[in-house]
Structure 1
Amino acid sequence: MESNYVLSMKNISKEYFGNPVLKGINIDIKQGEIHALLGENGAGKSTLMNILFGMPVIHSTGGFHGEVFLQDNIIEIKSPMEAMNNGIGMVHQEFMLIPGFTVTENIKINREITKGNLVTTVFRNSKSLKSLDYKAMNQDARRALDTIGIGIDELTYISELPVGYMQFVEIAREIDKSNMKVLVFDEPTAVLTESEAETLMDAMVEIAKKGIAIIFITHRLDEVMKVADNITVLRDGELVKTLSKTSTNVIELAELMVGRELQITQKESEAEKKESNKPILRLKDFYVEMPGERVKGINLEVYEGEILGLAGLAGQGKIGIANGIMGLYESRGEVYIEDKLLRLNNPKEALNSGLGFVSEDRRGVGLLLDSSIELNIVVTAMQINNKFLKNFLGIKYWDSKGIRKCANDMIKLLDIRCTGATQATKSLSGGNQQKVCIARALVLRPNILMVSEPTRGIDIGAKKLVLDTLVKLNKEAGMTIIVTSSELAELRSVCDRIAMITEGKVAGILKPEDKDANFGLLMAGLDIPVEEGECL
């Protein structure tokens, strides 16, 4: 019996190295339907689409379980080329355009139209010597651009276009394909202005009218409510709910995206913890030029003795804040530490001002993997503060005894599971490597510890140990801690306040116990009632 669905994904499950990231997902999409796919970072949206598009990362890691049907026929897509041949297209967040080619050449690439010439007239079997039919290709490109309502000249070079228009060229390339059945839009409005986003959504509606099914991945709930017919929400690799636009609203969608049972670690109750209203760190009109995580004029106060969380979706700027304060990326604006203005773009100045930093890239930035645990723990203090160095007749040498004692103290304090201080850092588990990064920062005796993505890439048991360590440092040492994380549930388990970063700015500040819907709304860039949160 035939169904009405152009695409069905049945009981889709996927593991990465024993870690389940999709757990029996079912999704059905009709011809000409706009189907929104929602979820936080890590919910499983990208993995599901990678399966649909046959991306190599899926098949190089053991494949997946479940079945994919296209117009009631089961298909096994092993590569993006197979997906395109089956009529499945994708407009990626990262542009896949050739800057030195024209708009037409990018739209028609690998599908060029050719025509005969004098040479092929003489040598009738010389198909490879045919000429490109630029007139026909330009006509096709113009038709595709007109479909999405963009008036750019098809002869313009990609390198001359604004970023927003590049997105439209990506879309025009997909809809120019004659066999298109399903088109995936992955955060298509992320780089667009408001007016460009409006044009794009109008174009999506026109594309759907031609019978092409659209999967619309976005975090902007107002856009979902404007164009989607049906909506599927994923959370932690599971399907939470599929519902029609007419039966829901942005409040419910926000709650479905982030709602979950919280596992509180050692966080004190409101009655136990004495709150401070004294700002220890202030950011005023702070900008950071970190690629992919730009900060666009943040104003924020961090209170002495608190754990402040910085939350938000990938690419919204939360990662850039600490990296900018530490001088790792060019920044401007004003940063005050206890009312003293910090000299920006100077990592040594930041460290000397009482700041500690644990990078999100512990392998690339945070650790010397081939070196011992003890060297990793003390190396920054040696370079910045000349600690653990002795001087004999003007010759400096390592204080081996002091280094060993410091390392052993940190191993005990943070419960680093190892054979000893001389063990190579690369042989530690991910969670213990993260603790070595924290130990390195603590040796500097910082007043403020900034930790970026502290639980990324480590197992659930190690996550709890790392989070408990941060709470312990805050509780017992009175250390002010700023935690940047994509894991909202983890922030809600340990933080006193959580600042939601959206489009490079602070969308609002919430308490961890505030409503799930409020977190979802701020994440989507929407306002919530002032009385329900400390909105900025």
Structure 2
Amino acid sequence: MPDPYFQHDTTGVKRMYALEMMNITKEFPGVKALDRVSFKVKKGEIHALCGENGAGKSTLMKVLSGLYPAGTYDGEIRIDGKSVSFRNIVDAEQAGIAIIHQELALVKEMTVGENIFLGREPHKFGVIQWDQLYYEAETWLKKVGLTISPRTKIHSLGIGQQQLVEIAKALAKQANILILDEPTAALTESEVEILMDILEQLRAQGVACIYISHKMPEVFRLADSITVLRDGKSIATLSRAETNEDEVVALMVGRELTERYPYVKKTPRHVVLEVKNYSVWHKEKPMKVNDGIHMTVRAGEIVGIAGLMGAGRTELAMSLFGAYEGKAEGEVWMEGKQVHIRSVKDAIRSGIALVTEDRKRLGLVLGMDVKTNTTLASLKNISRLQVINQNEELKWSQKYVDELKTKTASLETTVGTLSGGNQQKVVLAKWLMAKPKLLILDEPTRGIDVGAKYEIYHLMNQLAEEGVAIMMISSELPEILGMSDRIYVMREGRIVKELSHDEATQENIMMAATGGE
């Protein structure tokens, strides 16, 4: 009888399972989040865990990492063939498990080095050895391609750099099992390449890596095996060599998606937004983040804004929405009338809405419920004498939950407990209720599963058909190419190229974005 704790790989070498999770069941009030899920990872294997938001991926990893302690779930966990039970995160870390969260878990007011060794500071006779801490932190930073000082405060770093610090922090724990939850969501292409190299090195060293991602090209580049979860159940475990993207996506959503990007050719109407010679100054430094921008967006049109991280796309969106602190100069026209936007209130009055790239910090009030978040931007429409009509509030919030197919136990569910895709639907509902003329979408599908992406693309087409002007910023070129009627390419704060849907290719967009032409 074969030994159940060993697996032969293609070279005939026995590889012990680093991790076995068997028949894991986890319930919340009224919801079975995990239903007898089994999941195994071999030593020296990169194992992708795929599924839509709400499929149970994060819950399963919270069980594994000790966030949900033994006794709060049913089933068994084995590490290197031995049954284990974790009371907390510390127990899991001591067993060799480290997790890189999608939502950064860094202390913003502390230094990079302090964050990397938080709770594990090197000390002698009870005194922290700061020189040693910063020396070792610098070593780990170099491994992830960061040349910053370990004494730098976290709050002064960009999101991409913070993500790399999070990765360095996990590597410094020298874990045997490494969990990565959407690790590339905020990384540039060069930073993604660094991470890929690191993971390949870890695989060669025998580390078991669990890779959670909605980005199929990354999964198929890296993973040895792929496990698909759907509705809290393990649907299939496949060898990468024996499957393809379409099969995995179909398993994730329970149906075939006929087109990943359901582009609809449109007939643009009148100009909604016109920006003339628009410049925006950095909020702290004496420099421009946008310089001499000229652009238009028409009713019924989706205009993509492409460019590398740091090109000034988000600053442009935030400034047009009155939410950027830097001074702006130039002209903004809405439907033929010049508008002066000095605040978010001015933007909303002018018919502008923004779905931000950072939905948790800027798009939602996480401690409030679905109903309250949905109606926040439209309170004057459901109030009389400054008193909210609760029946109207319920009616409108339920309407958008139904229309957007938002998965929530009730309208009173706290938004912070929803999956990323459902949180994004609440943000969209908030602005749809405000009936905008111009809808600015900044990374609208970041961290969202393929099924929810597909629904958002269909919603964009529907809104365009209804006459809404849509401006979409995205770092995913296939998304820009697949959904845009026109594309502006930005570089160093300027628009350097305009392309039609038919003209645009990945190559000519990247050439313009990098200064190659």
TM-score range, shorter chain: 0.5 to 0.7
1:156 to 129, 150, 155: 150
Residues 252/156 of structure 1: CA separation in 2 closer, same or farther (3 Å cut): same
Are the counterparts in 2 of residues 187 and 217 from structure 1 also a CA contact under 8 Å? Answer: yes
Matched with 1:87 is: 96
> Is 2:106 the partner of 1:96?
yes
Map 1:234-249 onto structure 2 (within 5 A).
234-249=229-244
> Is 2:111 the partner of 1:111?
no
Matched with 1:201 is: 196
> Is 2:269 the partner of 1:278?
yes
Residues 114/42 of structure 1: CA separation in 2 closer, same or farther (3 Å cut): same
How big is the shift at 1:90? 1.1
Matched with 2:173 is: 177
- Identical-residue share of aligned pairs (%): 30
Report the TM-score when normalising by structure 1. Answer: 0.57
Map 1:207-356 onto structure 2 (within 5 A).
207-258=202-253, 260=255, 277-279=268-270, 281-282=272-273, 301=297, 303-304=299-300, 327=322, 337-340=334-337, 342-353=339-350
Map 1:10-89 onto structure 2 (within 5 A).
10-55=22-67, 58=68, 63-89=72-98
Matched with 1:379 is: 380
SS of equivalent residue, structure 2 residue 480: strand
Q: Tell me, in whole angstroms, the C-alpha distance in 1 between the residues paired with 2:440 and 2:405.
A: 8
How big is the shift at 1:238? 3.9
Matched with 1:419 is: none
Matched with 1:448 is: none
How big is the shift at 1:88? 0.6
Q: Tell me, in whole angstroms, the C-alpha distance in 1 between the residues paired with 2:28 and 2:315.
A: 28
Letter in structure 1 aligned against 2:190: S
How big is the shift at 1:159? 2.2
Q: Tell me, in whole angstroms, the C-alpha distance in 2 between the residues paired with 1:102 and 1:47.
A: 28
Report the TM-score when normalising by structure 2. Answer: 0.59
Are the counterparts in 2 of residues 360 and 453 from structure 1 also a CA contact under 8 Å? Answer: no
Q: Give unpaired runs (5+ residues) of structure 2.
A: 7-16, 258-263, 283-288, 305-311, 356-361, 414-421, 446-451, 465-469, 484-500, 510-517
SS of equivalent residue, structure 1 residue 190: coil
How big is the shift at 1:2? 4.3
Residues 352/176 of structure 1: CA separation in 2 closer, same or farther (3 Å cut): closer
* CA displacement 1:382-424 (0-9 Å, x = unmatched): 8xxxxx7xxxxxxxxx5xxxx9xxxxxxxxxxxxxxxxxx997
Matched with 1:3 is: 5
The structure number with the bigger radius of gyration is 1
> Is 2:390 the partner of 1:434?
no
Q: Tell me, in whole angstroms, the C-alpha distance in 2 between the residues paired with 1:237 and 1:299.
A: 46
* CA displacement 1:452-501 (0-9 Å, x = unmatched): 978364559x99xx99xx9xx99xxx998969887346547766458886
Q: Tell me, in whole angstroms, the C-alpha distance in 1 between the residues paired with 2:101 and 2:399.
A: 37
Across the two proteins, how many residue pairs are aligned to each other? 414
Matched with 2:418 is: none
How big is the shift at 1:157? 0.7
Residues 172/351 of structure 1: CA separation in 2 closer, same or farther (3 Å cut): closer
2:475 to 503, 508, 514: 503
Q: Tell me, in whole angstroms, the C-alpha distance in 2 between the residues paired with 1:494 and 1:48.
A: 31
Q: Tell me, in whole angstroms, the C-alpha distance in 2 between the residues paired with 1:21 and 1:38.
A: 15
Are the counterparts in 1 of residues 19 and 77 from structure 2 also a CA contact under 8 Å? Answer: yes
* CA displacement 1:351-407 (0-9 Å, x = unmatched): 5445689996489899997xxx9x99873588xxxxx7xxxxxxxxx5xxxx9xxxx
Are the counterparts in 1 of residues 274 and 295 from structure 2 also a CA contact under 8 Å? Answer: yes
Q: Tell me, in whole angstroms, the C-alpha distance in 2 between the residues paired with 1:142 and 1:24.
A: 43
Map 1:359-438 onto structure 2 (within 5 A).
361=364, 379=380, 425=390, 432=395, 434-435=397-398
- Root-mean-square deviation (Å): 5.8
